[in-house]
Amino acid sequence: MLELKNIKKTYHTGDFYQHALKDFSLKFRKNEFVAILGPSGSGKTTLLNIIGGLDRYDSGDLIINNKSTKKFKDTEWDAYRNNCIGFIFQNYNLISHITVLENIEMGMTLSGVSAKKKRKKALELLERVGLREHAHKRPNQLSGGQMQRIAIARALANDPDIILADEPTGALDSKISKQIMELIKEIAKEKLVIMVTHNKEIAEEYASRIVTMQDGSITNDNHPLENEKDDGDFHIKKTSMSFLTALNLSFNNIKTKKGRTALTAFAASIGIIGIALILSLSNGFKIEIDNFEKDSLSEAPIIISEQAMAMDEEMMVSMQKDIQSRKKYPKKEQIYVQDDVLETMMHTNNITNEYIDYLKELDKEDISGISYQKTTNFNIISRSKDDHYELVSTLNMMIPWTLLPTSTDGKTMDIVTNNYDVIAGKIQPEKPGLILQVDSRNQIYQSTLKQLGLSGKKVDFDDILNQELKVVFNDDYYQEMGSYFVPSTDLEGLYQNENSMTIKVQAIIRGKEGKEIITSGSGIAYTNALTEKVIEKNKDSKIVKAQQEEDFNILTHQLFDDKDLTNTKETILGYLGAETTPSAIYIYPKNFESKDDILKHLDHYNKGKEEKDQIQYTDMASMISSLSGNIMDAITIVLIAFSSISLVVSSIMIGIITYISVLERTKEIGILRSLGARKKDVKRVFMAEAFIVGIFSGVLGIVIARILVIPTNHIIENLSELPNVAKMNPIHAIILVMISIILTMIGGFIPARVASNKDPVESLRTE
């Protein structure tokens, strides 16, 4: 069954060589009790370790059932120890932090025996050694004799072919020794038992064969085996320790060091606490910002104009880099030409009737309405109290004249009523008229007031609402002079002309509190009904018909230039009141969700088109949201980066703690290897310990951070009147726990690797 053929084993330290086994050959029977006698240093223990696969021979061969082990890999030796060998050590070598039952089950666990089956087998073995009632005790609760019987039960658990006993009674008194030897003798009836001992009397009394050794060689064998053929079959089942088993071992070990583990976990959780608080604040502030933006920006229009500015994040970063590059001062006496930034950013939209029809396909459920702004000039004349007449310029960039948002049915849109308070008058969108917007202090610019024909530092609402302005139509306003058309300068006559249309300020509006982002400032708005009335009257006027027939500007006699958007035929016709495509389109979404659908619809139009044919839009709400979000993200990242330093420190600390655990559990490493645990199994045990500490520290960090959120919110509320700002996102909590686990396992990797590479023989000698 077992044969050692010309085995040599030499240990060397520096220049010193010790020959433990010298050309050692020995055969064993399938069932016999062999006692190995000899003085210390004769090679007895080395022989036992080589037979047990704990140590490797330098040359020769160990043959099991006619199978050579010369080419055995590490995993095969591990499986051999687990399946074929049962160790009984002088000092028992039980794992102290698991129960007696779990010690016996360990070998079966490594060989993949089911929980039910191994539990039954372990209890049967405990019954056989007379210790069933002690199944759930720890080894340190038993006497020496009891622990040795547990060791014997463990050695028998996997029903091995060979039992190796190293001085099994060396630490026991004579009475207990006799009991143990009787038990081993009983085992030898079924198996090969090889016992190393110094006690010649015990060997002669119990062993069926005595082999005496001296200086690594056999000096005597009282029952040698000669030319006996072995027909045995040799199969080894590979061992495997599940991560769950590794967790159980590590958890039981951790329970014996609760205080140290708790302090370690707390120290490791400090970084998690800091990051969790930062993320809670960031998450809370983002929610507040989102709510504020939804309240104030949800109805901000998507603007499609003839000139669109392609201002996205990438462009802003590019501009920032350009500004930074200007800080470099070249010394050469040269100038350098760069691209026009505005030219790069601007995109010309060709708004066509086809595109207008495409917009009509928008889902009506997504929009509050669409306003089409035209470039039509209104030819408005105001009269002051002292009868001073003045032409009102509705295209003055310094005095905003904007189209009052209206729904598709011509009524005032919710955008107005939701965001503005009507503080005087009444908005009537179906009638031509004006609406005056004041700021939060009821202020307007002096120039705006002058446009209405009013003056003074304070003006009553009634004076504004009763003020009349006149809209003069083209045929009265423009006079034909040869090939020219010139505006009339008789403003009083035009004002008094019976063909002129009277309009008034219908209402005075002011932005609601909290809606300042889209309602700030002051200006004049006009109803869409005013635009439609003016176009209706002017589209067939003499000047419009004349301009339609000419290829030059009949007001200035300049030739049209398609590259100058202010001097194209389309622009001038629009200015004069002809029916043309809009110069700007305002799409008002009902909410943020519907805005996404609108943007998808607009983007779909551009698919497959060249850039020059695309229609670009400006989404101010998205731009503001992006900027605020980016700022918040940048602050969060910086703060997390600082807090992450403590995570790195905690990883290093976990590595140190795991290494200390490796030193403390060196003996356990040797025991596991003797039971057939692979190197990767040992590594798994310590990685499992790091895993447990990682979970504990992560969860502890989240719990503490959650508690700290309460006083943090209280402080913020006192400072800013914002209640419950800090809100911990459950997803963030889960991610942080996972980060804690990953970092602790990274920290424990090197110590775990060190543990897996430890020599099992040296580990078993550790006390």
| Residue 412 scores a pLDDT above 60 | no
Q: Quick one: 212 and 265 in the same domain?
A: no
What pLDDT is attached to residue 33? 94
What pLDDT is attached to residue 364? 82
- Residue 664, both tokens: 């403390």
Write down the pTM of the prediction.
0.60
Beta strands at 32-37 and 192-196: parallel, antiparallel or unpaired: parallel
Q: Quick one: 217 and 262 in the same domain?
A: no
Stronger pLDDT, 710 or 417, i.e. the higher one: 710
**Which of 69-83, 99-113, 149-163, 708-722 comes out lowest in average pLDDT?**
708-722
Phi and psi angles of residue 334, each rounded to the nearest 5 degrees, phi first: -145, 155
User: Average model confidence (pLDDT) for the chain?
Assistant: 84
Percent residues over pLDDT 90 in the chain: 33
What is the residue range of 281's domain?
254-295+627-765
Say how many residues make up the chain: 767
Q: Quick one: 260 and 230 in the same domain?
A: no
Q: Quick one: 152 and 258 in the same domain?
A: no
What pLDDT is attached to residue 12? 85
**Residue 597 domain flag:** no
Phi and psi angles of residue 5, each rounded to the nearest 5 degrees, phi first: -120, 110
Distance between CA atoms of residues 260 and 239, nearest Å: 33
Q: Quick one: 63 and 137 in the same domain?
A: yes
For the sheet with 2-13, list strands across it: 16-28, 2-13, 59-64, 67-68
The enclosing H or E element of 571 equals helix 569-576
- DSSP letters, 56-89, are --SEEEEEETTEE-TT--HHHHHHHHHHHEEEE-
Q: Quick one: 287 and 430 in the same domain?
A: no
Q: Quick one: 230 and 273 in the same domain?
A: no
Residue range 284-310: average pLDDT? 72
What pLDDT is attached to residue 490? 93
**In 153-240, beta strands by DSSP E:** 162-166, 192-196, 209-214, 217-221
**Residue 617 domain flag:** no
Residue range 342-346: average pLDDT? 60
**Residue 204 domain flag:** yes
Q: Quick one: 282 and 423 in the same domain?
A: no
| Residue 310 scores a pLDDT above 60 | no
Q: Quick one: 187 and 156 in the same domain?
A: yes
Stronger pLDDT, 648 or 454, i.e. the higher one: 454
- Residue 460, both tokens: 């009553």
Read off the pLDDT band of 539 (50, 70, 90).
Answer: very high
Residue 712: C-alpha distances to residues 14, 493, 636, 716, 725 (Å): 64, 71, 17, 6, 9
Distance between CA atoms of residues 184 and 177, nearest Å: 10
End-to-end CA separation in angstroms for the chain: 35
What pLDDT is attached to residue 751? 87
DSSP state of 412: B
DSSP state of 431: S
| Structural domain count, the chain | 3
What pLDDT is attached to residue 472? 95
| Residue 506 scores a pLDDT above 90 | yes
Beta strands at 59-64 and 32-37: parallel, antiparallel or unpaired: unpaired
* Number of CB atoms found within 10 A of residue 427's CB: 21
- Residue 219, both tokens: 């000096």
- Residue 237, both tokens: 């089942």
Q: Quick one: 142 and 220 in the same domain?
A: yes
**Residue 328 domain flag:** no
**Residue 326 domain flag:** no
Residues 601-647: tens digit of each pLDDT = 999 999 988 888 889 888 866 666 665 556 667 777 777 777 777 77
Stronger pLDDT, 498 or 665, i.e. the higher one: 498
| Chosen domain end from 536, 564, 590 | 590
| Residue 324 scores a pLDDT above 60 | no
- Residue 595, both tokens: 């805005």
**Residue 684 domain flag:** yes
Residues 396-407: tens digit of each pLDDT = 655 668 888 876
Q: Quick one: 89 and 114 in the same domain?
A: yes
**Residue 619 domain flag:** no
CATH code (residue 30): 3.40.50.300
**Residue 248 domain flag:** no
Q: Quick one: 446 and 579 in the same domain?
A: yes
DSSP state of 552: B
- Residue 44, both tokens: 């007895």
| Chosen domain end from 191, 213, 238 | 238
User: How many helices and strands in the chain, by DSSP H and E?
Assistant: 27, 26
| Residue 340 scores a pLDDT above 70 | no
